[in-house]
Amino acid sequence: MTTSQNQGGYAELVEFHSEWVGDSWMRVAAKKIGKDGENKKLSITVTEMTETQTSKKRAAKVACEAARRLGVPSVDHVLLHDYETSRETENLQGQRKKTNIRQSVYVFGV
C-alpha cells in the first residue's frame, strides 16, 4: 500500500489490478481519500483498453465490483471524470491497429 500527502490531502492506494472483461483490458486503481475520523471516500479509477467500442456501463460495473470487494456498504457513486480517446499503433509486421481507451473515475462513500 502506498500513502501520499499533498496540500493537506491524504490518499492511500488500497488496490491495483488488471483484468479481462470480454475483449476489454480493464485496469483498476482504488484509493481511500481523507484522514481518519473524517468523511472518507473511495476513489476508483477504471481504464479500459479495447479494439472495439469502450463502454461507460462496463466501466461502472467494474468499479462497483471493486467497491464491493473493498467493503463499501453502498454502490451509490459519483462519476468525477470520464475521458475517451484512441491510439493507432503498428506491430512488428507493419500492421496498423486502433486501440480505444476510456478512463473513468468514480467516488464512493465509505
Band of residue 25 on the pLDDT scale cut at 50, 70, 90: very high
Over residues 37-91, the pLDDT tens digits come to 677 899 999 999 999 999 999 999 999 999 999 999 888 999 999 999 999 988 8
pLDDT at 4 over 80: no
pLDDT at 10 over 90: no
One-letter-per-residue 3-state SS of the chain: CEEEEECCEEEEEEEEEEEEECCEEEEEEEEEECCCCCCCEEEEEEEEEECCCCCHHHHHHHHHHHHHHCCCCCCCEEEEEEEEEEEEEECCCCCEEEEEEEEEEEEEEC
pTM: 0.85
Give percent above pLDDT 90 in the chain. 72
